[in-house]
Amino acid sequence: MSEGTVVTASDGSQVTLAPVGQTIVFENEHVRVWEIVLEPGERQPWHQHLNPYVVISLGPADNRIDPFDGGEPRLVHEPLGGVVYREPGEVHMLTNRGTTPYHSRLIELKYLGGDVPPASGD
């Protein structure tokens, strides 16, 4: 996990990365499942996914994803039951910009990303 890593933006500002979710609700050698609950206006702080992941929306919301590199924010609607697959990499922040609480399960696929164990003999 990238939690606790300090990253520097192009303008020289620095932030310490937070976990990708609020609570780990399940974990084994293959997956890590996070719970994320954001009230309207609440943010999931700057974080980075080192593993590919799937997000399942348990409570719909209109969210905003701000990339740390200063790129354009992405406005996304996550409907109840919606499922999204995303690749790892970008440092970003998630904000619930809607009027309803956002609730999701984020499933990291550990064996496809940064948690891949070294090959035997390494």
CATH number at residue 66: 2.60.120.10
The answer to whether residue 117 is domain-embedded is no
Is 119 contained in some domain?
no
Residues 19-45 have pLDDT tens digits of 999 999 999 999 999 999 999 999 999
Amino acid occupying residue 83: V
Instruction: Give me the mean pLDDT over the 62-91 stretch.
Output: 93
Strand-by-strand arrangement of the 43-48 sheet: 43-48, 91-96, 61-67, 74-78
In a domain, 102, yes or no: yes
Task: Provide the whole-model pTM.
Answer: 0.84
Domain of 75, in residue numbers:
5-112
Alpha-carbon span 112 to 118, nearest angstrom: 12
Residue 114 has pLDDT above 80, yes or no: no
Structural domain count of the chain: 1
pLDDT at 121: 52
Residue 92 lies in a domain: yes
- Whether residue 118 is contained in a domain is answered as no
Residues 35 and 102: beta-carbon distance below 8 Å: no
Q: Are 104 and 56 in contact (CB under 8 A)?
A: yes
Average pLDDT over residues 2-8: 83
Is 122 among the domain residues? no
SS3 of residue 111 by DSSP: helix
User: How far apart are the C-alpha atoms of 41 and 63, rounded to whole Å?
Assistant: 9
